Amino acid sequence: MAVIGVLAAAIATAFAVVIQWLPESASEEMDRYVFVFWFATVICIGIFAVVMAVLVYSIWAFRAAPDDDTDGPPIHGHSGLEIVWTTIPAILVIAIGIVSAVVISRNADAGENPLTIEVYAQQFAFYYTYPDADDARSEELVLPVDRAIRFELQAADVIHGFWIPEMGQKQDLVPGVTTKIVITPTRTGNFSLICTELCGLGHATMRGSVRVLTQAKFEEWLAGLRDDAAPGAGTETGGGTSADAAGAKVFASAGCGGCHAFTAAGTDAEIGPRLDDLAASADKAGKPVADYVRESIVEPGAVLAAGYADGVMPTTFGDVLKPEEIDALVQYLAGKEAP
């Protein structure tokens, strides 16, 4: 019986170890989840080995001969055995519960001096503001290593999910509610952020990039972000291209490319209409191209392109984007049509 038990434990351990079930951890919180995973897995392997040993041994040792049609001996049970096999699993399950509760509570604790980052989600993009950089906005999530970060999450339209697999923590973004989550990155590198709630046609495209930098590099990046956001910034990019650059930036950060194909931006999504020939569409609608583009951003249902349904494009861009961002976006989209 002991041999069968050891064999079963070895097979189960091989399954647990050889297959990489979890991504390589990149945060303190994920380290704790990995600990809970192994704590529960080791207990499961032990139980599995004991059950398999008794089961396989019993099938082999107590099997009836082919011509044996008699009833088995009448057995009433064994109180001692029943107490043991109730008590031990109860203790193990309570232990898993206690370990999980401790981990959940520690993972929610941001400590003394967390960095706060606000996360906004809307169909179909994430963007971030950094209160430490005068609320400057970024379309890329950049984090310092080895510092607790407290995320405050908000959704503009429907429920989205915030998840960086290597960092473990996962939290929904719910319209009207500010949800919170704490992540303490433990290694630098590039990761991806995934929306984990089915939030509309573009859900599958709702991914973001995450970059973890050393603390010094992060401070440098944060200072750059602050300068970029300052009034009058952007002019140093020079000449007539600065307006286009601003428009391109808004196009990227607002997630337009998640749904629309636009050659100038190199996007080819097919959820919404192509944006390459807006002059012709404006002509058809009988409006100047800039007015038509602005209306389509702020009030997407006003004029619908043939073959596209109302209610797919969010109607919140008029509130979410700043007026100067909408101006830049209009110029970027409409300006491309000028010969």
Which residues make up the interface to ligand CUA (CB under 6 A)?
Answer: 121, 124, 160, 195, 197-199, 203, 206
Q: Closest separation between CB of residue 205 and ligand CUA, Å?
A: 9
Asked whether the CA dihedral 326, 331, 332, 336 is positive or negative, the reply is positive
Choose between 197 and 325: whose C-beta lies nearer to ligand CUA: 197
Identity of the residue, 277 or 319, whose beta carbon is nearer to ligand CUA in the bound complex: 319
Contact 295, 303 (CB under 8 A): yes
Q: By C-beta, is 203 or 294 nearer to ligand CUA?
A: 203
Nearest to 186 by CA among 30, 2, 16, 20: 30
Q: CA separation (Å) from 310 to 299, 301, 304?
A: 10, 5, 7
Of 103 and 201, the one with the shorter C-beta distance to ligand CUA is: 201
Distances (CA, A) of 221 to 7, 186, 214, 235: 54, 18, 10, 19
Shortest Å distance, C-beta 171 to ligand CUA: 13
Question: Dmax of the chain from CA atoms?
Answer: 99
Say how far apart CA 135 and CA 128 lie, in whole Å: 9
Smaller CB separation from ligand CUA, 12 or 199: 199
Residue 155 beta carbon to ligand CUA: minimum distance, rounded to whole angstroms: 8
Write phi, then psi, for 140 (nearest 5 degrees). -110, 140
Q: Report H helices in 254-300.
A: 278-285, 289-298
The distance of closest approach from Cβ of residue 308 to ligand CUA in the complex, given in angstroms and rounded to an integer, is 20
Distance in Å, CB of 199 to ligand CUA, minimum: 3
